[in-house]
A and B are shown apart, each in its own frame.
Chain A
Amino acid sequence: MEKKKSMLTGEIAAAALRESFVKLDPRIMMRNPVMFVVEIGFLVTLLLCFAPDAFGGTVPRWFNITTTLILLLTLLFANFAEALAEGRGKAQADSLKKTKQDITANKVANGGVKSVPASELRKGDFVVVASGELIPGDGEVVEGLASVDESAITGESAPVIKEAGGDFSSVTGGTKVVSDRIKVRITADPGESFLDRMISLVEGAKRQKTPNEIALNTVLVGLTLIFLIVVVTLPFLADYLDIRMEIPILIALLVCLIPTTIGGLLSAIGIAGMDRVTQFNVLAMSGKAVEASGDINTIILDKTGTITFGNRMASEFVPASGSREEEAAFWAAISSLRDETPEGRSVLELMKKNGLPYDAKLAEGGEFVEFKAETRMSGIDLKDGRSVRKGAVDAVKQWVRSQGGEIPGDLDASSAAIATAGGTPLAVAVDSRVYGLIHLKDTVKPGMRERFDQMRRMGIKTIMCTGDNPLTAATIAREAGVDDFIAESKPEDKIAVIRREQAEGKLVAMTGDGTNDAPALAQADVGIAMNSGTVAAKEAANMVDLDSDPSKIIEVVAIGKQLLMTRGALTTFSIANDVAKYFAIIPAMFMLAIPQMQALNIMRLDSPLSAILSALIFNAIIIPLLIPLAMRGVAYKPMSTGRLLGKNLLIYGLGGVIAPFVGIKLIDLAVQAFI
């Protein structure tokens, strides 16, 4: 499954179109009470098309037919919105299902290996997967090491290393081993695997209404009932005045008043919100989790990997006694010329930044010595016979001593100083002489400060967790601009912080990947596990980030907020629209009996029937016009809640009052040509 930015393919649209008709089934329609009322209205006007005087009406037949068609369109538009939102998920699910098909597993049984279909595997079975084969189910590597292509799940094509033991032992069914061979213990029964859950999630099969959606739906049903009372009692009031109310006109009034705009788009907004999270390569286990993420008060972030790059960037050169800083830097650069590790590159960057010279030609023709776990050093053997090394301080010391070199007296003190400040020292040596140290320092990722500022404006507190000593932690915290930090933190500290914040009534989000993060992930209101993490972490979390990028939590929060905002904005818009619709329909209804009602016809609509049809047409076409907004979500930029409310009220509240006045008038101009 590749990341698709635009999922609106013609195929999906065509499928959604078909689906819109299927959804006309009253049994399905009933789930959406607002649109169900429209459907009943549609059925009544449909009846009136064939028997215009079924209720003693005097409305022309063409009016009944037109009303019926507009109501049908209103229903189809709403269904189309929902089907379109669902369709995007379905398309994704289909591509996932293809991945799932027909995997043969090499099951370890009775000392031998037997080929069985993957669907027969149960929890606790062992399988062997070799290079080029698909992993038949979710599991844990118990033997061996292999690189695995997880692009089927994550869309990321670079293979990842999976090995037995530790935090990189979990493998996902449907991913492909590209080198070596591993033995895997299966940890999920068929139907419960990650892929299965993912399919059912994106398919929306198990979609349940979220708490906020339920609350909003209640309000919409309440409003619908109120308008039902208004419209049902109206003919009795009119009758006292000897004014006859026509059934299709009453239905038109009712349909215009009830919140069809938001009613028709509500479920699409929810599905699209989930979908946006998925597009973002984050898999939310429930819509509730996405909604909750919009409410987060506190985010707990690991320092390493999330806020900083890790202990990897060269920040200064510390010369050993008897050497100058330029010398230490010079040899550090030479040793790094062909070193493609982040550390190596950061040395050259630092040289450039500080304007220190080095002669790259010196390394020409030399032999690069790669970093190895046994040697813990890397470097280059120059053509002139000299060997340059950089690496862990004790490893370099040993190497120098073995060549009869002396260790400068201040080396240990300097390296201890670097370590105390939270950095990592690398020693640089040429043959028997140690020139100095490279101070590798944690570096805050670019843009983090701005992000934390944004979050502060959103009212979210950030807490950084780190194993560093308080001094280092404080430095990084200040540099990154987080609100609070926990130094020398142990996994149980995270739970303690989460509980403390929750006791104050706050909602807490965190990211994690290790098995020891699992309890904290479960305790947090929004726990995002990295896909690279352990099975335990993934199971405890309510979201999984397929790209394993811990800082994504910030975007997820924004999506959660956007979801609620879209609902609020369209509800406000929908209700605000009613003002103009009243001014279109009410004068039209009574104009014949009470000519003075013309005073209320402030839009100067052409005739009573054209006024009613125009309001009804506006009511219908506003739904498809707003589908893109429902899918995309209203624009969200972090700002204070007061300003945000002011802005949205202006656009969707005031705009919602004005837009239909303009829209209905324009439609009326068009409609009167036909009447």
Chain B
Amino acid sequence: MTTLSLISIAVTLLIAVLLAKPVGLYLAAAFDYGPNRLNRVFGPLERLIYRISGFREENQSWKSYAAALVVSNAVMILLVYLVLRFQGALPLNPAGVANMEPSLAFNTAISFMANTDLQHYSGESGVSYLSQATVLVFSMFVSPATGLALAMAFIRGLSGKGAGNFFADLIRALTRVLLPVAFVSALLFVFMGVPQTFESAATATTLEGAQQTIARGPIASFLAIKELGNNGGGFLGVNSAHPFENPSGLSNLLQILLMLLVTSALPFAYGKMVGSLRQGRVLFVSMLTMLIVMTGVSLSTESAGNPVLNNLGIQHEQGSMEGKEVRLGEAQSAFYSVITTAAETGAVNTMHDTLTPIGGMVPLANMMLNTVFGGMGVGFVNVLMYALIAVFLSGLMVGRTPEFLGRKIEGKEMKLIAVTLLVQPFLILVPTAIALATNPDTISNPGFHGLTQALYEFTSAAANNGSGFEGLGDATTFWNVSTGIVMYLGRYISMVTLLAVAGSLAAKKPVPAASGTFRTDTAMFGAVFVGIVLIVGALTFFPALVLGPIAEQLTL
């Protein structure tokens, strides 16, 4: 690893940190129902949408907010499913792509609506332009908008306001955040050399005279929302490792910034909305610290290279380059793998399968914790859930019924949180056990690495990340259906339970802060928060990680 690559990583992080606060303040304003200046800019378009759709900005109860979210998402999943199933007969299919088979369509529809974008098909050959540009891009906008809406509703709950209106939040997320930013960044990507065309694949004659088909399409617009919305689904099969989807170091930088843009800004939006920026800053710094540690581990193990090659005395000073793009180098690849799993995006610019065992454990750990910033909206809500647990324990330790932002955390909230906490381990460990027991032949590696492959797949599905460890024969009915179910439950159970937590907290009378109140905007609270995240995460997944990446590293 060179000093230059370290500097470039530090600069990238610095830009991300500098962007977080202003973007956060913008988000808080964008979702404020009161009169503000943004209404003048976006008002006309939104009023038009309201007129056509018939929605109104009426406050919903917590239950109807959750119901609107789940039902509208379900309807859209069905819609995407139908288009994929019948894409062969539908227009905009110059390459003549066939209808998608049912289990794969089931998987893909859920995958895109659940902000996961686990792709069991290959972008070049599996979907038509119509599917790609309409239903998939459509869900790549709607699903992050849903996540953002959830975060806003949850934060409103913590600050004692009503839930708001799901459709209003959804529309605002689209008009005020996703569409404008995606539009500008798509143009930037085009400028950087990413194709944007509706023509079918180009055919070229190589120097040897062979015919080569070069896939292309409306990649720039797809790429923009793929990163901004923490979707991660690649237009092309190899995702951002393909030169058309990630032509240069500059496009790599822009992708990383887009992945972190909203999710790192949410703590500040939260701070603004609850009336104390310090509250948000503590969480931001806690998450940033975890991210830096994860990055450090990943970079050091990747740059150390493969111990087996080192032992053979093979010169290896550019680090472990297996499965990585030479254009990007080992540092930018490792860094990308950390960010894409921290922000639960799932875009990849390297084969995670070929990362060193510990280098591969870092993305895995990011997804298991799901709190190192985390995916669009949902990640931050998860963070707030851990903050509630941290408050609960610390509150007890100072001898008070725990309260967060003045609201008491009691049996009902803890029950919902306990259920939510169970979802992740259940959805990761149980299906992994089933897959290993029943479908060992679809896993390309025996031993520890094979175990990691299966574990990674379900972790990625449960955390709605979508990156693949690859090496799995995952386009089978078993994998399609099982990960489909895991993705669906992984996304919506916690959305509903946590909205219920917010609703229950919002209904409580706030206690004014006094000198005896336990403060949640201090470094000590940040430390407790990180401690709880790490201990709960480590205790849950340690045995599985020991049998996967850790054993692999030890036995190299």
Closest-by-CB residue of B relative to A569 is B397
B401:A239 contact, CB within 8 angstroms: no
Determine the residue in chain A with the shortest Cβ distance to B538: A579
Asked whether A586 and B542 contact (CB < 8 A) given A572-B393, A652-B397, the answer is yes
A597 CB–B CB distance under 8 Å: yes
Q: Residue on A with the closest CB to B426?
A: A229
Q: Does A378 contact B (CB under 8 A)?
A: no
Number of interface residues of A (CB under 8 A): 72
Query: Is A457's CB within 8 Å of the partner chain B?
Result: yes
Give the residues in chain A near B519, CB-CB below 8 Å. 641-642
* Residues of B contacting A211 in the complex (Cβ-Cβ under 8 angstroms): 401, 410-411
Considering the complex, give the chain A residue whose CB is closest to the CB of B420. Answer: A222
What are the interface flags for B457-484 relative to A under an 8 Å C-beta threshold, 1 for contact and 0 otherwise?
0000000000000000000000000000
Q: Is B398's CB under 8 angstroms from A238's CB?
A: no
Q: Which residues of A contact B (CB under 8 A)?
A: 211-212, 214-216, 218-219, 221-222, 225-227, 229-230, 232-234, 236-241, 243, 257, 291, 294-295, 297, 456-461, 504-506, 560-565, 567-569, 571-572, 575-576, 578-579, 582, 586, 590, 594, 596-597, 599-600, 636, 640-642, 644-646, 648-649, 652-653
Give bound CA distance, A243 to B437, whole Å: 13
A597 / chain B contacts, CB cutoff of 8 Å? 546, 551, 554
> In the complex, are the beta carbons of B554 and A594 less than 8 A apart?
yes
* Chain B residues, Cβ within 8 Å of A560: 399
Q: With A and B bound together, what is the CA distance between A214 and B401 in angstroms? A: 12
Contact B515 A459 (CB under 8 A): yes
- Measured CB to CB, the closest approach of chain A to B113, in angstroms, equals 27
Q: Are A458 and B451 in contact (CB under 8 A)?
A: no
Binds A, one of B233-241, B268-276, B343-351, B504-512: B504-512
Name A564's contact: one of B396, B432, B447 (CB within 8 Å): B396
Contacts A575-B535, A586-B546 given; indicate if A504 touches B512 (C-beta within 8 A): yes
Whether B92 is near chain A, meaning CB under 8 Å from some CB there, is: no
Contact between chains at B543 and A653 (CB < 8 Å): no
Contact A297 B516 (CB under 8 A): yes
Q: What is the CB-to-nearest-CB distance from A191 to chain B, in angstroms, rounded to a whole number? A: 31
16 more CB-based (< 8 A) A-B contacts, given A222-B417, A240-B451: A219-B417, A225-B418, A227-B539, A241-B448, A294-B399, A297-B514, A297-B516, A456-B515, A506-B511, A562-B399, A572-B393, A586-B542, A600-B554, A641-B515, A642-B524, A649-B397
Are B514 and A240 in contact (CB-based, < 8 A)? no
Return B303 CB to nearest CB of chain A, in Å.
21
Q: Is chain B's interface secondary structure helix, strand, loop, or mixed overall?
A: helix
Task: Encode contact with A along B375-405: 1 for CB under 8 Å, 0 otherwise.
Answer: 0000000000000010011111111110000
- Among B393, B419, B531, B540: residue with most chain A CB under 10 A: B393
B517 at the A interface (CB under 8 A)? yes
A504 to B417, CA, bound (A): 27
* A459 engages B517 (CB within 8 Å): yes
B522 neighbours in A (Cβ, 8 Å): 642
Contacts of B538 in A (CB 8 A): 579
Q: Which chain A residues border B447 with CB–CB below 8 Å?
A: 241
Given contacts A211-B410, A229-B425, A239-B436, contact A600 B400 (CB under 8 A): no
Q: Tell me whether B194 is interfacial, beta carbon within 8 Å.
A: no
Give the interface residue-count category, chain B. 35 or more
Q: Which of B435-466 contact A (CB under 8 A)?
A: 436-437, 440, 447-448, 450-451, 454-455
Partner of A586, one of B395, B433, B451, B543: B543
* B555 interface hit (Cβ, 8 Å): yes
Can you list 5 A-B contacts with CB-CB less than 8 angstroms, sorted by A residue number? A212-B401, A222-B421, A236-B432, A456-B515, A505-B406
CB of B56 within 8 Å of the partner chain: no
Residue of B nearest to A507 (CB): B511
B414, CB-defined interface residue at 8 Å: yes
Give the nearest-CB partner of A213 in chain B.
B411
The 5 closest A-B pairs by CB, nearest first: A459-B516, A568-B396, A561-B399, A222-B418, A236-B433
Known contacts A211-B410, A211-B411, A590-B551; is-contact A226 B535 (Cβ 8 Å) = no
Query: How many whole Å from A218's CB to the nearest CB in chain B?
Result: 5
- Is A291 touching B401 in the complex (CB atoms < 8 A)? yes
- B486 interfacial by beta-carbon distance below 8 Å: no
The answer to whether A219 touches B436 (Cβ under 8 A) is: no
User: What's the nearest-Cβ distance from chain A to residue B301, in Å?
Assistant: 15
Min CB distance A247 to B, Å, is 16
Contacts of A238 in B (CB 8 A): 547
Instruction: Report Cα–Cα, A562/B422, bound state, in Å.
Output: 30
Residues of B with C-beta under 8 A to A590: 546-547, 551
